Structures are given as C-alpha cells and as structure tokens.
Amino acid sequence: PLAAAVTLNYTSAIFLAIYLAFSGQRPTAGVFGALALGLAGVGLLLRPTWGADQLLGALLGLASGALAGMAYFSVRELGQRGEPETRTVFYFSLVSSLGATCWLAWSELHPVDLRSGSLLFGVAAFATAAQLAMTRAYAASRTLLAAALAYSTVVFASLFGIVFWHETLDRWSWLAIGLIILSGVAATHFSPPAPVRRSSA
C-alpha cells in the first residue's frame, strides 16, 4: 500500500543519523528521539497496513529509506567539501532524467497539450526549487534538523488536502500532526550547531 511505502521511505532520517554516527559524528539521544517521534507521527497520520504476503514489498520500502538516507548523507558530504548546490542538483536531475528516459521506452506516451504542459512546467519548477533548498539545508545547515523538518511534508500535504479538496481529519490525524511538529521543535533544541563549510579549492 502507498501509505506503507511512504512511511518506510521516511525511515531515511533514522538511517541518516546512523550513517552520521558511523562517520564519526555523535548524534545525541535527543535527536534520535526527535526523529523517532516524527516517524511515529508520520505512521499515525498515514496508518500503513501490511499483509502477510507483502514482506518483500516492505523490505523494498525499507531499503528505499536506507538508500535515501545514504543519498542525504552524500549530499551533506558534498556540501561540506564546498560543492555548490546548483551543480549537485544539476547532476542529480541529469541522472534522473536519463533513468526516466530508459523507463519511457517501455511506457505508453501521451501527447502534451497546453494544460498538461503547464502542469508539468509547474511541477518541474517547484521540484527544482525544492531540490535546491533541500540540498542547501542538508549541506549548510544542521543535517538532522533538516531531516526532522522533512517530516513536515505530510503535514503540508494534509493541510493542502483540507484547503483544496475539502478533506477532513480525525482527532488521530491532528494528534499525528502535533507529534510531527513537536519532533521538529525537539530536533531544533537538541541538534548541535551547524558545521562550518569548507570552500572548494
């Protein structure tokens, strides 16, 4: 199920903290607690379900979280070495586009009209801006704080659902949103100061 896949993918923040610990960083127990609290909030909001025959899918979802955590760790390391965000995002977009092009070879193509083209342009523009902001956050800010604040994605998605599609949230969903917000506050309190970036030669 989609909710289960999204929840497992959000374990990337936990994996990122583990990678940082193995690299010599020392995330505090408070930061780990904040990340776990945020993940619990995401799980409560999305309420994933697993069937007995979905073990492979669950493992793949967990693997996506581990790989995403490694990607964020790599972005941080690039930023610490003075790599500009624009270059990182450019090569990320290039590799992603090449991979998507290969996938399109086995997919059905649809004509792009003015409306769909405008929507695609909007998606591309906002995605690029978000990718630049995320890359800078992981590279130049407190990395685990950025990871904890990334949980707010599902909060904004829920609020957009209320505003644009008139969805309603039950008390458990509001409790989940509160947990995610609390995790961001806790991560802000417990995160160590931002590291100093080294300029590239």
Task: Assess if residue 195 is contained within a domain.
Answer: no
The answer to whether 183 and 37 are in contact (CB under 8 A) is yes
For residue 141, what pLDDT band results from cuts at 50, 70 and 90?
A: low
In the predicted structure, residue 39 carries a pLDDT above the cut 60: yes
For residue 57, what pLDDT band results from cuts at 50, 70 and 90?
A: confident
Q: How far apart are CA 119 and CA 22, in angstroms?
A: 42
The answer to whether 186 and 34 are in contact (CB under 8 A) is yes
Q: How far apart are CA 27 and CA 163, in angstroms?
A: 37
Q: Per the structure, how many domains does the chain have?
A: 1
Query: Crossing angle of helices 55-80/2-9, nearest 10°?
Result: 30
- The pLDDT tens digits of the residues spanning 95-140 come to 988 988 888 888 888 888 999 999 999 999 999 999 999 999 998 7
Task: Assess if residue 197 is contained within a domain.
Answer: no
Task: Assess if residue 196 is contained within a domain.
Answer: no
Q: How far apart are CA 29 and CA 193, in angstroms?
A: 15
Q: What is the pTM of this model?
A: 0.86
The answer to whether 36 and 14 are in contact (CB under 8 A) is yes
In this predicted structure, what is the pLDDT of residue 62?
Answer: 94
Task: Assess if residue 200 is contained within a domain.
Answer: no
Expressed as residue numbers, the domain containing 23 is 2-190
In this predicted structure, what is the pLDDT of residue 193?
Answer: 66
Task: Assess if residue 177 is contained within a domain.
Answer: yes
